[in-house]
Amino acid sequence: MTTAFRFIFLLALVGAGPGLPPSFAAPTASPARPAGEPGTIVSTPPDMTYYALKGDTLSTIALRFTEKLSNWSIIGKRNRITNDRTIPVGSAILVPLELLPEEMSKATVVALAGQSAAKNADGSEFTLQVGSTLTEGSQVTTSKNGFLSLALPDNSRISIPSNSQVKLSKLRMAKYTKSPRTEVTLLQGRVESTVTPLEASKGRFEVRSPLAIAGVRGTHFRVGINDNGIANEVLTGKVATGKPEKPDAVLVPAGQGNIVSSQSVGKPLALLPPPELSGNYQLQEKPTIQIEVQKLERAAAYRAQIASDPEAQNLLAEGRVSGTGTDTRFKFDGLPDGSYFVRATAIDALGLEGIPTILPFTLKARPEPPFSVQPKAKLRADKVEFSWTEAADAKSYRLQVANDAAFSNIVLDQAGINDIRMTAETLKPGTYFWRAATVTEKNGRPDQGPFSDVQSFVLMPPQPAMAPFTDNGDKELSFNWPSEPGQKFLLQIGRDPTFTSLYLSKELEQPELRIPRPDAGQYFIRVRATDADGYTGAFSSTQKITIYSRWVTGNGEAVISNGGAVKSGQ
């Protein structure tokens, strides 16, 4: 009675009829099994290897690891075991990974920029920060300037750019081996995935969208929603794309993409090549970063992204410009000084984004340079005064003067200037270029920022003084001075050397002046020229002149002696 009861119980446990577990099969010879530490588990894709404990059978192993007793037959076939009543202790038993049950996984925020909103599966909102974890059913929405990068336990990455909405519809892994089973639903915008190879581990990674499914075993690919449908772009590996009812309709290889629309699953098309960047983008010396791409044939638009890592997964900013206009420059503001990477792509008429170019650059825009004040254009002087505006937090300034705009021939390089002006007395007439930089203190050391915009000027000889004047006793005085074609002049005669009290101030078209003889006394004279281009120079050096009293005849003419006109005191 007791024996019969035990027999019926075991049948109920493992199932009756054909396909009895090997414990009840006819005895046959079985191959020798590799041995290991009893009870240990090793991931050996596409299987899990389990080393048997005392009393283990395929039935108990199937129930323990797959939670389905009926899976004993699959495990038996995989191990070519048909008649073992008891498995020897330490024997290696292969359990196919696809039989393992699933357990919940998670995604971790590893990079975050701008604004992003997150909801749990129950609809409750929570704040994201680096290190936050998301579970199955979570939903993330990025703003216009929001960027998010998630890491899965197997080091796969999910990058969510701006203006996108993504739901982590399935976030699980195989029990014991942690083989991932991931399903991402793209609701709006774009998502980029870098998936750790899953072929051996039998893992799954799918990106679902309203019209299509993209499934991979390990690759780098993008999925985006645009006006033409769902754009799939494969950078490495292969991606099976299709509609929900036939998800693997088309296999898209690396370097190609396709569009899945409501009518069809498009054939693979070659992605546009990486665009090249123009100009000296490697060093950005203004707070506004400017990146310009060279135009590509068939490009309808371009996208540029700024990232903090060479894989461009940790995004900080992005922009898009039309490919039909003449200006293909991107401008980015608000980033601190540091080292960055720019990733640029070309987008074709279907909305497929091409292969990226990723290049490093440095932003060194602070401390910001002062604004140049003078000199500008040109000046006539025997010394040059340079001046600039005061910069915030400046400890000192640095001035450079060169003979060329590229500053390959520098004639003056002065650091440690503690004022906002400096006078140079050694420059000879010629064309010069100058710039100034602000120096602050950072971490106890001088920190020089970029130079200001280059200013140029022409240094000309100062306005020549008048020819020496001698009082010859004439009724009129005559003055003249050197000049250049097209110049106009302002001549001043003062009663004092500061010209506070003027005897005469007269504008002239010619470099000469005749005036009636003034009263006897001391006078001071100077002239200032305005060039034909409108430049007004400085006054010439001041010349002192002395007018003597003289003897005159009844008709007012000077009395002449052998020494000339007779002056008072002769």
Summarised one tens digit per residue, pLDDT across range 336-369 is 999 999 999 999 999 999 999 999 999 999 999 9
Instruction: Check residue 311 and report its DSSP letter.
Output: T
pLDDT recorded at residue 507:
97
The string of DSSP codes covering 226-269 is: ETTEEEEEEEESEEEEEETTEEEEEEEETTEEEEE-SS-BPPPE
d(CA 404, CA 456): 9
Confidence (pTM): 0.76
Token digits of residue 445: 């050391």
The pLDDT of residue 549 is 82
As a whole number, mean pLDDT of residues 476-484 equals: 90
Q: Residue 30's pLDDT band (boundaries 50, 70, 90)?
A: very low
Query: Residue 307: is its pLDDT beyond 70?
Result: yes
> Residue 159 and residue 315: Cα distance in Å, rounded?
8
Query: Residue holding tokens 């003419």?
Result: 557
Q: Above 80 in pLDDT, residue 447?
A: yes
Dihedral angle, C-alpha 76, 82, 86, 89, nearest 10 °: -60
The helix (run of H) or strand (run of E) holding residue 79 is helix 72-79
Model confidence band, residue 294 (pLDDT cutoffs 50, 70, 90): very high
**pLDDT in the model for residue 364:** 98
Position 383 scores a pLDDT of 92
Write down the CATH number for the domain with range 466-570: 2.60.40.10
Q: Which residues are 516's β-sheet partners?
A: 476
Residue 381: how many other CB atoms lie within 10 Å: 19
Q: Which CATH superfamily is domain 372-460 in?
A: Immunoglobulins (2.60.40.10)
Domain ranges across the chain: 2-99, 102-270, 277-363, 372-460, 466-570
pLDDT at 246 over 80: yes
Is the predicted pLDDT of residue 15 greater than 60, yes or no? no
Average pLDDT, the chain: 89
| Helix, strand, coil percent values for the chain (each to nearest 5) | 5, 45, 45
Q: Please tell me the predicted confidence (pLDDT) of residue 108.
A: 97
Phi-psi region of 9 (alpha: psi -120 to 50; beta: other; left: phi over 0): alpha
pLDDT in tens, 539-565: 998 999 999 886 655 565 655 545 555
pLDDT digits (tens, 9 = 90+) for 179-206: 899 999 999 999 999 999 887 667 889 9
Domains 102-270 and 372-460 share a fold: no
Do the beta carbons of residue 306 and residue 336 sit within 8 Å? Answer: no
Q: Which amino acid is at 309?
A: D
Q: Are 439 and 448 in contact (CB under 8 A)?
A: yes
277-363 carries CATH number 2.60.40.10: yes
Separation between Cα atoms, residue 397 and residue 448, nearest integer Å: 8
Q: pLDDT tens digits for 519-530?
A: 999 999 999 999
Q: Is the pLDDT of residue 299 over 60?
A: yes
102-270: CATH, from 3.30.9.10, 2.40.110.10, 2.60.120.1440, 3.40.50.10490: 2.60.120.1440
**H/E run at residue 64:** helix 58-66
Grouping H, G, I as helix, E, B as strand and the rest as coil, residue 445 is strand
